[in-house]
Chain A
């Protein structure tokens, strides 16, 4: 079974998986890194992003390049209402936020069930070609996701390191009181971070729904994967998300191909448990003082 072609195929599959994990985990880690909120409703926003894209692209035939960002923008804008009435009460309250946002996740998923029913739908593919390079097979939709994940990562990095608003976010993440003393409006900074995080979740949800399937409960799996990725990489660390996503995607691809799915899940969770024991701040995270 082991041949250069199979190995390259495993790496290609792993990178495809990693791209989806990274996209979902980016917003999750941003919310934790800046507001210390463990957003257990992250998967629900991904699901809403999927439905928004479904309506815009599959039902109303809005061109894909417009529909994908507009769908995510719409969800992020609507979510600002939740930021005002729910999230704001749990900033810097990590444990309370876990329980409250788990409830919010259930509420959103159950409401979606009432509105859209339970059956799984598909969002029509933007690209359905299957590229064959030598013996390697690459579905074109996976390539699009890899490209978007790479652009999102780069944009995130540039935004947080080279823009005034991004620097304000990092300052607030390091020390809220000192940041406020320096004239940073943390309320606006938090709102902006929340908006970006939900935009990323909704964008990822659109891709996820398009690659797999759309249903009110589709957010459960992305939430779990986002959680594992940020624990691996380090809560709040953007390079950590990239590393965690790649490790998880490549590991899953390699282990599932050679040893089966059960071994893959066992090793993935085993690695997370070991990491939590010996390096609880993750591979690229910073220990809490």
Chain B
């Protein structure tokens, strides 16, 4: 798109307003070629506001998987071949807006399969629409209520570990690797993500005998120095960045070092370390981070090449998660040989063992925790920032 401010006439102005008001997502979505049979796949993603990096990661991850299927001739179901079209709506990382756009996808677009939204607020906002309508939804927010709810999560799958799955293993890792650490400090967003995710992590630390100090901030904050001074006064040994978004995690990391915090800084949550390094700069050195992928793995580097060919900007950690999930869904549809969401759901549940492109063999878990096996389990890694790059320090594979 070629918009030059120098040619900013009134018509251009009106066009820009139209672009804005109809949503950047629609403007960004690529328009696939018209096919005889078209299957709309829905996506709810934050395409404006603070969660945009995650939302674009979702959109791009799914789009790349659909592109592959389309380039291979489309999706063959019941003797018909479907061209896959991604329809994306912006939820602004907001529960109420997620409900509105879920309604549009279900009632107007007739989407039977929806990816997203990213994060817990939107996921919890959209479930009351998708679950009664038997629309299959794939999310990765950490809130337990996403899988433990009044619908028994009949048509929703969580497609990456939540902190219920990784909190205990990572705390055990801290215990083994950093025996001098006794007290943990956390600063978390005061929204559904922070309120749902932090107690699980706190519980895991306390179970291992740690003392934990927690404080909250309003999402969108940029200046954390007063809270960090407050944390320093508590004499914490390890600063835990928990489920903060990459931008906020980067600022917390940078400002913690600026106010003189010398201890280890770890983030047990989120995905992708590059944006945090970008924000924190040289002060990111030594930072430890939970991550879901290693870019050096062949499957990931292939995806990364495809991503860089089509898009610019940082390869966000949500892209491989949703790319992996889109492949799992397409395989389940192929096996069901139907677009009936109940039949596809049943095939998804039986998909254990399918070799998905990023996380490998599909393992569904969660029965004990949530009452259903709709939680994807996968190994995770702990990265450490060395000379400005996130390098794999450990691979943790047991739940």
**Does residue A159 face the partner (Cβ distance < 8 Å to B)?**
no
Check if B282 sits within 8 Å of A119, measured CB to CB.
no
Q: Given A253-B226, A260-B227, verify A220-B5 contact (CB < 8 Å).
A: no
What are 26 A-B contacts with C-beta separation under 8 Å? Answer: A6-B233, A9-B229, A17-B223, A82-B8, A85-B13, A107-B13, A107-B19, A107-B20, A110-B19, A110-B48, A114-B24, A117-B311, A119-B314, A120-B279, A122-B281, A212-B223, A212-B251, A213-B250, A213-B251, A213-B278, A216-B52, A220-B220, A253-B225, A257-B227, A261-B221, A262-B190
Question: Which of B73-81, B210-218, B289-297, B339-347 has 4 or more CB atoms under 8 Å from chain A?
Answer: B210-218
B3 and A128 within 8 A (CB): no
Q: Which residues of A contact B229 (CB under 8 A)?
A: 6, 9-10, 13, 257
For A138, the closest partner residue in chain B by CB is B258
Determine if B275 is an interface residue (Cβ-Cβ < 8 Å).
yes
- C-alpha spacing A255/B216, complex, angstroms: 13
Min CB–CB distance A284 → chain B (angstroms): 25
Which 7 A-B pairs rank lowest in CB-CB distance, beginning with the nearest? A117-B313, A256-B226, A118-B52, A107-B16, A261-B217, A106-B20, A110-B20
Q: Which residue on chain B has the smallest CB distance to residue A17?
A: B223
CB-CB under 8 A from B13, the residues of chain A are 85-86, 104, 107
Q: Interface code B261-286, partner A: CB below 8 Å = 1, 0 otherwise?
A: 00000000000000100111110000
Nearest CB in chain A: distance from B118 CB, A: 12
Q: List the B side residues contacting A9 at CB < 8 Å.
A: 229
Instruction: Point out the residues of chain A lying under 8 angstroms from B53, CB to CB.
Output: 118-120, 215
Return chain A residues, CB-CB under 8 Å to B9: 85
Complex: A111 Cα to B233 Cα, angstroms: 43
User: Binary interface profile of A, 89-130, with partner B (CB < 8 Å = 1, else 0)?
Assistant: 000000000000001101111110111011111101100101
B56 sits at the interface (CB 8 A): yes
A253, B289: Cα distance in complex, Å: 29
**CB distance B281 to A124 under 8 Å?**
yes
Q: Is the CB of A221 within 8 A of B24?
A: no
Q: How far is the CB of B391 from chain A (nearest CB, A)?
A: 20
Tell me the total A-B contact number using a CB cutoff of 8 A. Answer: 158
Note all chain A residues with C-beta closer than 8 A to B49: 217, 220
Contacting pair A103 B8 (CB below 8 A): no
Question: B172 near A: Cβ within 8 Å?
Answer: no
The answer to whether B281 touches A212 (Cβ under 8 A) is no
A132: B residues at CB distance < 8 A = 260
Interface residues of B in 1-39 (CB under 8 A from A): 1, 3, 5-6, 8-10, 13, 16-17, 19-21, 24, 27-28
In whole angstroms, what is the CA distance A1 to B227 when docked? 13
Q: Is the CB of B190 within 8 A of A261?
A: yes
Known interface pairs A106-B17, A118-B313, A137-B259; A261-B218 also in contact (CB < 8 Å) = yes
Q: Is the CB of B230 within 8 A of A260?
A: yes
The prevalent SS among residues of A at the interface is helix
Say whether B215 contacts A120, CB under 8 Å. no
Check if A258 is an interface residue, CB within 8 A of chain B.
yes
Known: A124-B281, A215-B247, A257-B227. 16 other contacts (CB 8 A): A10-B229, A107-B17, A109-B20, A113-B24, A113-B52, A115-B3, A117-B56, A120-B279, A130-B258, A212-B223, A213-B247, A213-B279, A215-B53, A260-B227, A261-B190, A261-B227
State whether the Cβ of B244 lies closer than 8 Å to any Cβ in chain A. Answer: no
Residues of B within 8 A of A124 (CB): 281
Q: Is the CB of B20 within 8 A of A128?
A: no
Closest to A119 in B: B314
Given contacts A85-B13, A212-B222, A260-B216, contact A120 B246 (CB under 8 A): yes
Is there an interface contact between B17 and A119, defined as CB atoms closer than 8 Å? no
Known: A252-B226, A260-B216, A261-B190. A81 touches B16 (CB 8 A): no
Alpha-carbon distance A224/B124, docked complex (angstroms): 28
Could you tell me which B residues sit within 8 Å of A by CB distance? 1, 3, 5-6, 8-10, 13, 16-17, 19-21, 24, 27-28, 47-50, 52-53, 55-56, 190, 215-218, 220-223, 225-227, 229-230, 233, 246-247, 250-251, 258-260, 275, 278-282, 311-314, 316
**In the complex, which residues 13-30 of chain A have their Cβ closer than 8 Å to any Cβ of chain B?**
13, 16-17, 20
What residues of chain A lie closer than 8 Å to B27, measured between beta carbons? 110, 114
* Inter-chain contacts of B279 with A (CB < 8 A): 120-122, 213
Residues of A within 8 Å of B52, CB to CB, are 113, 118, 215-217
Interface residues of A (CB under 8 A from B): 1, 6, 9-10, 13, 16-17, 20, 78, 81-82, 85-86, 103-104, 106-111, 113-115, 117-122, 124-125, 128, 130, 132, 137, 139, 208, 212-213, 215-217, 220-221, 252-258, 260-262, 264-265
A106 to B92 Cα, complex, angstroms: 13
Cα of A17 to Cα of B247 in the assembled complex, Å: 19
Q: Is the CB of A13 within 8 A of B226?
A: yes
Docked Cα-Cα span, A85 to B12, in Å, equals 11
* B17 contacts across to A, CB distance below 8 A: 103-104, 106-107
- Tell which of B6, B55, B221 touches A81, judged by Cβ atoms closer than 8 Å: B6
When the two chains form their complex, are residues A257 and B230 in contact, meaning their CB atoms are under 8 A apart? yes
- Does A217 contact B260, Cβ atoms closer than 8 Å? no
In angstroms, Cα B152 to Cα A243, docked, is: 55
B76 to chain A, nearest CB (A): 35
Residues of chain B within 8 A (CB-CB) of A125 are 281
Q: Which residues of B sit under 8 angstroms from A81, Cβ to Cβ?
A: 5-6, 8
In the complex, which residues of chain A have a beta carbon less than 8 angstroms from the beta carbon of B222?
208, 212-213, 221
Cβ–Cβ < 8 Å partners of A17 in chain B: 223, 225
Q: Within the complex, which residue of A113, A256, A265 is in contact with B230, where a contact is CB–CB below 8 Å?
A: A256
**By the criterion CB–CB under 8 Å, are B225 and A16 in contact?**
yes
Q: How far is the CA of A17 from the CA of B230 in the complex (A)?
A: 16
**A74 → chain B, closest Cβ, in Å?**
10
Contact A217 B48 (CB under 8 A): yes
Contacts of B218 in A (CB 8 A): 261-262, 265
Q: How far is the CA of A78 from the CA of B275 in the complex (A)?
A: 30
| Complexed CA–CA distance, A47 and B278 (Å) | 17
Least distance between A245 CB and chain B CB atoms (Å): 13
Q: Chain B contacts of A252 at CB under 8 A?
A: 223, 226
- Nearest-neighbour CB distance to chain A for B94, whole angstroms, equals 13
Contacts of B258 in A (CB 8 A): 130, 137, 139
Q: Report yes or no: A120 in contact with B250, Cβ–Cβ below 8 A.
A: yes
The residue of chain A having its C-beta at the shortest distance from the C-beta of B14 within the complex is: A107
